[in-house]
Structure formats: C-alpha cells, structure tokens
Amino acid sequence: MQLAYYPGCTIKASARQHEGAGQAVLRALGVELREMEEWNCCGVVHSLTSDNLIRHMAPVRVFARLRQQGAGEVTTLCDMCFNTLARANLLARRQPEQIAAISAASGDELSYDGGAGVLHLLQVLRDRVGLAAIRARVRRPLHGLTVYPYYGCKLLRPSEVGIDDPETPTVLRDLMAALGATVVEGPLQTQCCGAYHVVDRDAIVAGRVAATTGQACERGAEAIVLSCPLCHFNFDALQPLDAAPLPVFYYTQLMGIAFGLELSELGLEAHRIDLLPLLQRHNLIHAKGGSA
C-alpha cells in the first residue's frame, strides 16, 4: 500500500519522533508513505469567518498541489493539519464559489474542485490496515502497561470531519488493546488541552494538563498516549518534573515498541519526561539501546 503523505511544519520540527516512529511502523505493516514533492504550511487553524478567503489559500494550495502530482487522497499524522485540511475540503465542496475566488486571485494556479480526500494516520491504521493485521505484527505485547488515551479536540471536532465519536471515541483504546496494553479512560480525554494558549496563557493550559493527568493517575494510568503534536508539547512541557509526571507517548512509539522495532527509529529520547524507566520496568525494552 502506498499513500501520498502531507507532513506539515510541526511534524518536521518538534514532532520528528512521531514521524520517524510512524514511518517505521508503517514499513513493518507493508505501507509506504510517499511525501508530497511540494507542500506548504496548512495554515494551522481553520478560519471561521466568511470574508477572509486568504486564510483558506494555504490548505487549498495543498490540495491543488496534490492533484497536480496525480494523487486523489493524502494522509497526515498531525491532528491540527488534518482538521484544517478536512475543513477546507468541506468548504471546497459546499462553497465552490469561494474556492473559485481563491483560484482567480492566484491566477488560476490553485484550481481545486474538492474532489480529493484527506485521512489521518489513525484512520489508515483502523480502516485500511485493520486491527487484526496490527495485532498479528506484535512481537513484544505491552502486557502490564496501563495507558490513558488522550484525544484532545482537533481529531474529533467538529463531528463532520472527526474520525470518531466526539464524546466516546474508541480508536486509540482499540489500538492500544490490540498491542496488549491495559486501557483506562475518563471524560477529560476529549477535553481541549488549551492548545496554543500555552504561548500567552500557560496557566490555563497547565491547569488542564494537571486535571487530565490527575484523572489518569487516579484511574491507574502509568502513561498518556496521544496523537497531536501540540497536545504532546503541552503534556510533556507543563507537568512538573518533581511530582512524578506521567510519561507521554505518541501512539506510533508504543506501536514500535510492541512491534519490536529498533529504538533508534522511535525517538524515545526526544522527550522532556523520560520514557525509558517505565518501559524498562515492564521489560519492554532492554536497558541499553538495541531493539524493543
């Protein structure tokens, strides 16, 4: 299986471990991500105003470039990118006159009819690869490891683009169970982490992080597992290190551990909160390098 791949800016900067682990896991499953030859920032946040077409130009350009490169569907790992692209695609289908205006402003360079598709990697794993194939690839089950799946908001809302039920999602729970982990859940797993308010209102974000990690600990979790680079930054950066913080994993990293892949491919060292002691305690990795 080959998939056109849109990385986005954050994946290439502060979430490179997510990309590296994701590509390693997909290779193990016989899936190849083929990065778009030309791509740009998606614009990060979908504009809700009806008269600010310039904000939609960036995601429309991504789709136009995708079609120019001969692909009709693109996959991304980033929740923010997925949300922005999926909502821009809805705009193209429902309000083609706005896309026509964008195209005209670009000298018809950005002609796009809304006919392409965008998938989050979790959709690929759940709907294309399948949990049975993932379960069959496990070499070192995550037995004894208790995790709390955290979804945040961009993966699930609005419901017209979300990949799962916005109130009771199951995709991360089912994936972790397929890897052999024990899963605990709670209502805060779908609450926004505070997102980019960390820039100037970090106390709000720290409060949300503390509430969610507190709930996870109360329910017996030893780690948080998530998919969003911005959520990862907030949970990894805003937990105090002197209060037994919960390790924060990308789901791709735990898949790599369960698949027995080389640790050098998983970026486990690229975290503020050390992941290795927990994994060693459960005999999921060796004390020194090598594979999981």
pLDDT at 290 over 70: no
- So what's the pLDDT on residue 135? 98
- What percent of the chain lies above the pLDDT cut of 70? 98
165 against 292, higher pLDDT: 165
pLDDT at 23 over 60: yes
H helix or E strand, kind and range, residue 147:
strand 146-149
Question: What single-letter DSSP state applies at residue 72?
Answer: S
pLDDT at 187 over 60: yes
- So what's the pLDDT on residue 85? 97
- So what's the pLDDT on residue 120? 98
Domains and CATH numbers, the chain: 2-121 (1.20.1050.140), 140-281 (3.40.50.11810)
**Mean pLDDT, rounded, of the chain:** 94
Average pLDDT over residues 248-273: 98
Could you check whether the bond before residue 229 is cis, i.e. omega within 30 degrees of 0?
Answer: no
H helix or E strand, kind and range, residue 118:
strand 117-120
- So what's the pLDDT on residue 268? 98
Closest CA to 270 of 241, 229, 219: 229
The pLDDT tens digits for 43-95 are 988 876 667 788 889 999 999 999 999 999 999 999 999 999 999 999 999 99
Q: Picking from 12-16, 49-53, 133-137, which range would have the lowest pLDDT averaged per residue?
A: 49-53
Strand 146-149 versus strand 182-183 pairing type: parallel
pLDDT at 288 over 70: no
Predicted confidence band of residue 289 (pLDDT cuts 50, 70, 90): low
- So what's the pLDDT on residue 63? 96
- So what's the pLDDT on residue 197? 81
Predicted confidence band of residue 292 (pLDDT cuts 50, 70, 90): confident
Q: CB under 8 Å to 273, separation ≥6 — which residues? A: 236, 239, 241, 245, 246, 247, 248
